[in-house]
Amino acid sequence: MANLSSKQDELERYDSISDVKAHCPDKNCIYVAPLRTLTTHASEKHPKLNVQFRTQKSEYFDQRCDACGFFFYSRSAIYNHKSTKKCEYYASERVKYETWLEEVGTQGSLTLQEQIRDTIKFNHGNKRKSALEYAGDLKRSKFGK
Ligand SMILES: [Zn+2]
Ligand SMILES: [Zn+2]
């Protein structure tokens, strides 16, 4: 029973975090998408930057796949990644990246690092502020009467 419910929790956690919107890790890219779509986008559009970004621990990607060394936003995401053979693909992308790194040296890696956003968090600040303002307006009008 306990096992079943913890499994359920994990699934729910996966569902909610995979829907969290974030910026593409590439500073020059305006793409914003839920994490589960973002990972596909980054690996297709920015393969080298993606390997560099995903093989470091970051705010959303904090759980590591032992087989390929990439970081994921949840354990369920790692499970899905392994079961769909993406792990082999990621490992091959990593080999390509490391081969490229040997050619360009440390400078190449530093340049790539500069292209990665400091934070990929998508700012909901404006939306939240207007909702608060709206609540404030309601309150004021209520007490004003
Ligand atoms: Zn992008
Ligand atoms: Zn893996």
Phi (first) and psi of residue 70, to 5 degrees: -80, 150
**Antiparallel, parallel or unpaired: β 32-34 and 63-64:** unpaired
Instruction: Give 7's pLDDT tier (boundaries 50, 70, 90).
Output: low
The ligand with the least distance to the CA atom of 37 is 1
Distance CA 42, CA 136 (A): 40
State the average pLDDT over residues 97-113: 94
State the average pLDDT over residues 86-101: 96
DSSP 69: -
Q: Does residue 142 belong to any structural domain of this protein?
A: no
Q: Does residue 16 belong to any structural domain of this protein?
A: yes
The ligand with the least distance to the CA atom of 66 is 2
Range of the domain at 120: 2-137
State the average pLDDT over residues 47-70: 96
Task: Tell me: pLDDT of 45 over 60.
Answer: yes
- Measured in Å, residue 87 CA sits from the centre of ligand 2 at 4
More confident position, 88 or 132:
88
Task: Tell me: pLDDT of 123 over 80.
Answer: no
Length of the chain: 145
Identify the CA nearest to 89 among candidates 26, 40, 19, 31.
40
Distance CA 53, CA 63 (A): 13
State the average pLDDT over residues 45-63: 97
Judged by average pLDDT, the poorest of 42-51, 100-109, 133-142 is 133-142
State the average pLDDT over residues 89-115: 95
Quote the number of domains for the chain: 1
Bridge partners for 21 per DSSP: 34
Identify the CA nearest to 114 among candidates 42, 45, 28, 22.
28
